[in-house]
Amino acid sequence: MHLRPHQREELADLAVAAMRERGLEPEFSNAALSQLESITGSGNGSTSGVADMTGLLWCSIDNDDSRDLDQLSVSEVLAGGDVKILVAIADVDALVAKNTPIDQHAHANTTSVYTSARIFPMLPEKLSTNLTSLNPGEVRNATVTEMVFKPNGTMVRSSIQRARVHNKAKLAYDAVSAWLDGKGPLPDAAARVSGMEQQLRTQHSVAQQLRAMRREKGSLEFQTYQPKAVFEGEQVVDIRQQEQNHARQLIEEFMVSTNGVAARYLGSKHRSSLHRIVRSPERWARIAEVAAEYGETLPPEPDSLALENFLAKQRRRDPLRFPDLSLVIVKLMGRGEYVVERPGGPKIGHFGLAVRDYSHSTAPNRRFPDLITLRLIKAALSGEPAPYSNNELDLLAAHCTQQEDAANKVERQLRKSEAAMLLESRIGGLFDGVVTGASKGNIWVRIFTPPAEGKLIVARGKAVKVGDKVRAKLVSTNVERGFIDFEMLN
């Protein structure tokens, strides 16, 4: 079948349309672009009250293609076996002041939106990938969270301060993880820096201890379905599943800890803050029914530890179908949301992470709630009034929840169109897959290679159930709507 000549361009156009349909702004306003032209420096400005931490062995670990670097980390082994972990967060607020045109765009979307054909950054790339990014070879201002952990992973003290930092090595998840697993060499960017190898080993060790502690408390570990299109020039040539690995876990654990410190710091200053929560599931009875279908019994009341034990058992028992079970449980748990925590007010916590204090503070280049939290922390550090009233924070919490949900829907819609585009030249082809769901008379299948989902047409009288392995023929695709239809053969 003839391939479309401009696949990337077509997908980018579909992404723009999806953004607008969901109430997101794909382009920056003229006022924002005018403000951007006036920004020339990195905003380092005065060094008063800003510590010099440029000599530490900071590194960033992110996706291979990430250019908006929000955080750096470094470790120090202390006498007695305790380990100090420092996490630096880009001081985006230094260049993006509240209520300026660029800030208004960030407020409108509240997040960067990532599709394979085009990224819609929350902040202009001149900022997010350059002047406010913690790029290697550049001195940048940051807020630095210091955390000291016992060998068992218990945090014994923490603090936040402003500092200048210098990224010594820009590293990528997959290469670092391959090295940690003994399947690849130490990445060149790390090998060129004396002491970086031990840095990474220490950070990895602390992160795995933190992960084990959270699992013991009931942190839920899912394996979600995150396919990403791969381009050669303008053509979609493959779809690959993003794998969880030790380097991603390292950053995840440090970010969870840093977000907890940010929330508790603002609370200790008797200031309101934005928290990211997942409420205790109201649909727990249905979650228990799902577990019962696998022969497991959950307690009558929500219990994250019992749920994690069930998930871990199923991950070991049936890794092939575990992503689909993960998706079912995630949907039943309900979406995450932002809420305002007031001094002395009730704590809701994050059911999925098994933590009580959790903000979003570690990605101010990419998420507006993090930029809000950065401003709240800087005001608290300097003893200035909070830049947002409680009423403003209430409105922002609801708005950020709504827009983040819209952005997720855009990204999911485009993943479907990407898969349809890759598969449209393979109509008539045969694929192995697994039945993932049934609703409103439709049956859904996930094929393994490439990883993609579509509707499964089943012959009348043929019975299938979720989890069945099937052989299916591709019968049609619709790129614009992201539809893929298969016909079951066996």
**Cα–Cα dist 102/92, whole Å:** 11
What's the pLDDT tens digit per position in 309-335? 888 888 888 887 787 787 778 777 777
Same domain? For 230 and 301 the reply is: no
Same domain? For 155 and 122 the reply is: yes
Residue 311 CB neighbour total at 10 angstroms: 20
Same domain? For 22 and 91 the reply is: yes
Bin 110: left if φ > 0, else alpha if -120 < ψ < 50, else beta.
Answer: left
Model pTM score: 0.90
45 in a structural domain? yes
Number of domain units in the chain: 3
Same domain? For 249 and 323 the reply is: no
Residue 385 CB neighbour total at 10 angstroms: 9
381 in a structural domain? no
Confirm if 236 and 230 have CB atoms less than 8 A apart. yes
State the burial class of residue 117 (Cβ atoms within 10 Å of its Cβ: 0-12, 13-18, 19+): buried
> Does residue 189 or residue 350 have the better pLDDT?
189
Q: What is the separation of C-alpha 275 from the centre of its chain, rounded to a whole number of angstroms?
A: 16
Per-residue confidence (pLDDT) for residue 462, from 0 to 100: 84
Backbone Cα Rg of the chain: 23
What's the pLDDT tens digit per position in 109-125? 999 999 999 999 999 99
The residue from 241, 269, 297 where one domain ends is 269
Determine if the peptide bond prior to 346 is cis (ω within 30°): no
Same domain? For 47 and 120 the reply is: yes
72 in a structural domain? yes
436 in a structural domain? yes
185 in a structural domain? yes
Residue 476's CATH number: 2.40.50.140
The residue from 239, 269, 299 where one domain ends is 269
Confirm if 247 and 174 have CB atoms less than 8 A apart. yes
Confirm if 237 and 231 have CB atoms less than 8 A apart. yes
Q: Please, what is the average pLDDT of the chain?
A: 91
Per-residue confidence (pLDDT) for residue 430, from 0 to 100: 97
Per-residue confidence (pLDDT) for residue 213, from 0 to 100: 86
Same domain? For 171 and 46 the reply is: yes
Residue 196 CB neighbour total at 10 angstroms: 21
Same domain? For 69 and 213 the reply is: yes
Confirm if 161 and 95 have CB atoms less than 8 A apart. no
Same domain? For 54 and 199 the reply is: yes
**Cα–Cα dist 194/206, whole Å:** 20
Same domain? For 144 and 106 the reply is: yes
Q: Quick one: average pLDDT of 176-201?
A: 97
Same domain? For 124 and 160 the reply is: yes
Domain extent, residue 312, equals 284-333
Whether 1 has a pLDDT exceeding 50, the answer reads no
What's the pLDDT tens digit per position in 372-422? 999 999 999 999 999 999 999 999 999 999 999 999 999 999 999 999 999
Phi and psi (nearest 5°) for 244? Answer: -70, 140
Same domain? For 126 and 234 the reply is: yes
2, 85, 146, 210, 253 from 258: Cα distances, Å: 51, 10, 9, 12, 9
Q: Quick one: average pLDDT of 248-268?
A: 94
The top-scoring range by mean pLDDT among 153-157, 282-286, 461-465 is 153-157
Nearest to 112 by CA among 417, 480, 416, 403: 403
CA-based max dimension of the chain? 76
374 in a structural domain? no
The three-state secondary structure class of 91 is coil
370 in a structural domain? no
Confirm if 448 and 433 have CB atoms less than 8 A apart. yes
What's the pLDDT tens digit per position in 6-60? 799 999 999 999 999 999 999 999 999 999 999 988 777 666 789 999 999 999 9
Q: What is the separation of C-alpha 39 from the centre of its chain, rounded to a whole number of angstroms?
A: 29
357 in a structural domain? no
Same domain? For 248 and 298 the reply is: no
**Cα–Cα dist 377/394, whole Å:** 18
